[in-house]
Chains A and B, each alone.
Chain A
Amino acid sequence: MFLFSQAREGSFSFPTQGSSFAAEVDSMYAFIFWISLFFFIVINGLMVYFVIKYRRKDKRLPEKSPAHHTVLELAWTILPAFILVIMFIRGAWGYLEMRNPPEAANAVERTIDVRAFKYGWQFTYPNGDITSELHLAKNVPVRFRISSRDALHSFFIREFRLKMDCVPGRYTEAWVNPIETRTPSETISVDENGNVSKGEKEPFHLQCAEYCGEGHSQMRTEWKDDGTWAFPVYVHDCSFDELTEFTTWDFDQNSNWKNGEFLFKAYGCVGCHAIEGAAQKVGPNFRADQWRVDRRSATGEVKTFANDAEFETYLSRSINYSTEFIVNGYPNQMPKFEFSPKQLDGLIAFIRSPGQETVDETGETTDPKAGEAGAGKEKQKIDASKSDESKIDNEDGDAAKVAEPKSSKNTEKKE
């Protein structure tokens, strides 16, 4: 089983070793495996040998042999106990290593908040950035402060051999020191026509390991039809502070739609709501043709909308106070949010036309410079695709644009 342990993307039994303690876990497993295999072969080998050798031939009664042997019995009671003690000690040692964050990871500026909810993940970085992708820096130990908004979840990244339950009402913690990179450009490839496909490697896999309800198996790193990864774990070859390049999103003054798209991803709406014609998840899909369509609740109450404003009011209530009106056929599972009016504007603009960006209705784009910036952004996006860089979607493109001021802000904060 360990014949393939040199393979690049993990061994036969284990995924790639992505963290500093993964090697110890795999080696511990191999240690137990070989000892177990030895005992298994001895026990079953003897069993098969005895069954063949002592098959009943002519006489029913066997020749006499002792029915107990105190020394032998004590030996096979006590000797395995020694092996078990060794296993316990080595396992406990490896475990304490995994549980106690080193000094460097324990600092406030190296703590990432992990928030699990039905059905998605949200990461808050020390500088306040929020993403639904986990961005880490190679060889930089970080600590996770883990919590849950609703049910039990479990924060499981298999390449890190890391697992910790997300318990509502309390914090749990974990830490990791990633030792291998997984950048977006390794995991998404773009051909010359701009078609995106899976890259040669996959990002590290984040999965929810504690059953949490209907969308449990959606809380994982997954390649999606729209050419993106849901909840990927990326490890960049950069310093921790430089991660802001990938995590920052400042509100785009020019496009409510883009702000909405960002929130849609960062707050994990994407975990339950698919866009347009994609396969339906837990909640209703966001579809342009559902705009202002009447809604019927499970109790039979019907809401009709005389104008856009009424429908927009309904949407904003449904986002921040989701339990007020549950549309028939859908579970009452959406967590409570506290979006600001500005954020709601963005989300509503996004929901109105989830498939593609609309011309901003607010009509604030009078500044010619802003228009230029927008065009530049588009260009940048195409460039990025062509050069197969990490900036795939406009989210990353924007991040690059605003990275500079944000990171300078960080250095200020540190000082």
Chain B
Amino acid sequence: MSTIAKQKEKLFGHAPEENFLTESKGWASWLFTLDHKRIGIMYLIGVMSAFTLAGILALILRMELFIPGEMFLSNQNYNRMFTLHGAIMVFVFIIPSIPAALGNFILPIMLGAKDVAFPRLNLASFYLWMGGTFFFILSMLFNALDTGWTFYTPYSIQTSSAVIAATTGVFILGFSSIFTGLNFIVTVNTMRPPGMTWFKMPLLLWALYSTAIIQVLATPVLAITGLLLMAERILGLGIFDPALGGDPVLFQHFFWFYSHPAVYIMILPAMGVISELISVHSQKKIFGYEFIAYSSIAIALLGFLVWGHHMFTSGQSEMVILIFSALTFSVAIPSAVKVFNWVATLYKGSITLTTPMCYALSFIFLFGIGGLTGLPLGTLSTDVHLHDTYFVVAHFHYVMVGGTLIAFLGGLFHWWPKMFGRMYNEKGGQLGALIVFIGFNLTFFPQFIMGSRGMPRRYAKYDPEFQIFHQISTIGAITLGIGLAIAGYVLLMSLYRGKRAPGNPWAASTLEFQCSSPPTFHNFEHDIILNDPYDFESIEYDERVGGYVPVLEPAEEPKSVPQPEPVETT
């Protein structure tokens, strides 16, 4: 055996006997864990449950809309359903989905680190998420919320539904989001391994870093807004209530000052995931790394300046509206740059249509539609007509679901073998992705046409002229549900039947694929070998491990970085 082979044997040869899933047992070992991987898995289970719940609400809504009149939901119940669907999806699922569930697991390992900078803060963040979700469930069970996820005043002051419980939930969830963001900022700033400069970071880290900046800067505004709304309801301060001399439009400014940047909290990590998937599954160095990295930062910063475009018909002055429209167009550019770069990455690649890649390609298609339909909404003359119609509903579902959810699923399939050490059934995964893609378009494309024909959103009953569009949409929603169920089934079955995953099944060059699958408690049992994150020539196939390993140069020792001694845990 040559020295190189020995070296490899030592580094990657055999899977360790214990991994983070098995190293300690019992409920307490999970509930009090400080391990970022376990917290990530708990987040994953949590957000997927929330997604399932809000998804079922969406299906109920779509069923009700199959006919123009009342089928089985009264107006009041319809309003509650769409409110809870939106609020749970946004606050409990999408915002924590990629950063808190996938990011928590991946980010430290991508940095070659043992954990995030503040493991206790990380666990606190998870329990805040649980707490916030608890209040949401409360507001759902007792006099369910009916204000829409936007809590617009003065309706949210007048309604008898559970506004206080829900805003408490939002307030707590906000802190969960801030904790995660803060943790990621410090981790990326201080824990990069020697040699990993800013421009040698994987693009997912740029995206998560940009997201974290928004989370830390924007979320406090939401917290204040929630508190003011509670104060308004309990004490009757008269800030937002016109009956007491307040200004209801002020609430909209406060709310969107957070919630527009929040849109980028949702989409930026998705863009980061897509940058990884496209590059790895076409074995091609990402095209225009710097442009993609800078565009993440540009989106994060410009995202703070465009909140007024949600209020073009609210009676703001014309000058303000013109400025917001102009700024809105400026956000379109960095998003477009990313899409162009992803497509250019495919050029002369070596493309395999693995399940994650199928999701990544459908992301480009769906996010393309979502982004381009943002143009008539940013354009003033057309927005006046399209505002608050199904066109907007379709637009943001194309971005939030077609963008974030699809990227989340792609990322989940990409890192699933890393998380649980099992390969899923590739054919089943691809089938799920295809049905999700078809179902999604069937659900939301007709809504563009309905919207431009003038169907307002949040209508429990509607004009019979729109029935055909609603029916196609409902059939699409059921298809989408089936596709998601298949995807979930494929993943869960892999845990029982999947074959063991090698450390690096995708020939990826980022650091998380250098540790074993699933990683051990300490992540790396050996020194990491730092290469460019998109240099696929530094990876080669090794038959003995059934996966890919870094190429070790014959004459020299691995360019390794010493790891701190693992801390003994008791």
B249 at the interface (CB under 8 A from A): yes
Q: Which residues of A contact B70 (CB under 8 A)?
A: 279
* 0/1 string, B319-337, CB within 8 A of A gives 1: 0011001100110110011
In the bound assembly, the distance between CA atoms of A128 and B283 in angstroms comes to 74
Q: Which residues of B contact A214 (CB under 8 A)?
A: 75-76, 79, 146
* 0/1 string, B337-362, CB within 8 A of A gives 1: 10111011011111111000000010
B449 at the interface (CB under 8 A from A): yes
Range for the number of chain B residues in contact with chain A: 35 or more
B384 close to A60 (CB less than 8 A):
no
A62 close to B348 (CB less than 8 A):
yes
B384 close to A81 (CB less than 8 A):
no
In the bound assembly, the distance between CA atoms of A98 and B459 in angstroms comes to 26
Q: Which residues of B contact A331 (CB under 8 A)?
A: 76, 160
Specify the chain A residue showing the minimal Cβ separation from B448: A13
B381 close to A76 (CB less than 8 A):
no
B367 to chain A, nearest CB (A): 10
Question: Of B283, B291, B361, which is within 8 A of A47 by CB?
Answer: B361
Question: Of A62, A218, A279, which is within 8 A of B282 by CB?
Answer: A62
With A15-B454, A165-B313 known to touch, is A282 a contact of B381 (CB < 8 Å)? no
Question: Of A32, A99, A163, A220, which is within 8 A of B463 by CB?
Answer: A220
A residues 63-86 in Cβ contact with B at 8 Å: 63, 65, 67-69, 72-73, 76-77, 80-81, 84-85
In the bound assembly, the distance between CA atoms of A216 and B378 in angstroms comes to 26
Q: Which residues of B contact A96 (CB under 8 A)?
A: 318
In the bound assembly, the distance between CA atoms of A39 and B336 in angstroms comes to 10
With A43-B340, A84-B333, A88-B325 known to touch, is A51 a contact of B381 (CB < 8 Å)? no
A369 at the interface (CB under 8 A from B): no
Main SS of chain A's interface residues?
A: mixed
Q: Which of B247, B380, B536 has the most CB of A within 10 A?
A: B380
Specify the chain B residue showing the minimal Cβ separation from A208: B456
With A63-B348, A68-B289 known to touch, is A44 a contact of B364 (CB < 8 Å)? yes
B350 close to A61 (CB less than 8 A):
yes
B111 at the interface (CB under 8 A from A): no
B336 close to A76 (CB less than 8 A):
yes
Question: Of A73, A151, A163, which is within 8 A of B388 by CB?
Answer: A163
B346 close to A54 (CB less than 8 A):
yes
Stretch at the interface among B19-27, B117-125, B147-155: B147-155
* 0/1 string, B380-424, CB within 8 A of A gives 1: 111111011100000000000000000000000000000000000
Q: Which residues of A contact B507 (CB under 8 A)?
A: 60
Q: Which residues of A contact B146 (CB under 8 A)?
A: 213-214
In the bound assembly, the distance between CA atoms of A33 and B375 in angstroms comes to 9
In the bound assembly, the distance between CA atoms of A214 and B83 in angstroms comes to 12
B453 at the interface (CB under 8 A from A): yes
Q: Which residues of B contact A73 (CB under 8 A)?
A: 288, 291, 337, 340-341
A99 close to B318 (CB less than 8 A):
yes
In the bound assembly, the distance between CA atoms of A163 and B461 in angstroms comes to 20
In the bound assembly, the distance between CA atoms of A25 and B50 in angstroms comes to 40
Question: Of B75, B326, B372, which is within 8 A of A39 by CB?
Answer: B372
With A61-B283, A158-B385, A220-B463 known to touch, is A332 a contact of B364 (CB < 8 Å)? no
With A54-B347, A207-B456 known to touch, is A164 a contact of B291 (CB < 8 Å)? no
B286 at the interface (CB under 8 A from A): yes
With A51-B361, A164-B313 known to touch, is A56 a contact of B536 (CB < 8 Å)? no
Stretch at the interface among A105-113, A167-175, A261-269, A390-398: A167-175
B286 close to A67 (CB less than 8 A):
yes
A224 to chain B, nearest CB (A): 12
Q: Which residues of A contact B541 (CB under 8 A)?
A: 60
A32 close to B155 (CB less than 8 A):
no
B376 at the interface (CB under 8 A from A): yes
In the bound assembly, the distance between CA atoms of A65 and B330 in angstroms comes to 31
A216 close to B453 (CB less than 8 A):
no
A212 at the interface (CB under 8 A from B): yes
B residues 432-451 in Cβ contact with A at 8 Å: 449
- In addition to A67-B289, A68-B288, 18 A-B residue pairs with Cβ atoms within 8 Å of each other are A25-B382, A32-B375, A32-B376, A32-B382, A36-B373, A44-B368, A46-B346, A54-B350, A54-B351, A61-B537, A73-B288, A77-B337, A92-B380, A94-B380, A165-B314, A207-B456, A211-B79, A214-B79
Q: List 22 A-B contacts (CB under 8 A).
A: A12-B449, A13-B449, A44-B364, A44-B365, A50-B351, A56-B283, A61-B283, A73-B291, A84-B332, A84-B333, A90-B379, A91-B378, A92-B322, A95-B381, A151-B158, A161-B384, A165-B313, A210-B152, A211-B155, A214-B76, A214-B146, A218-B461
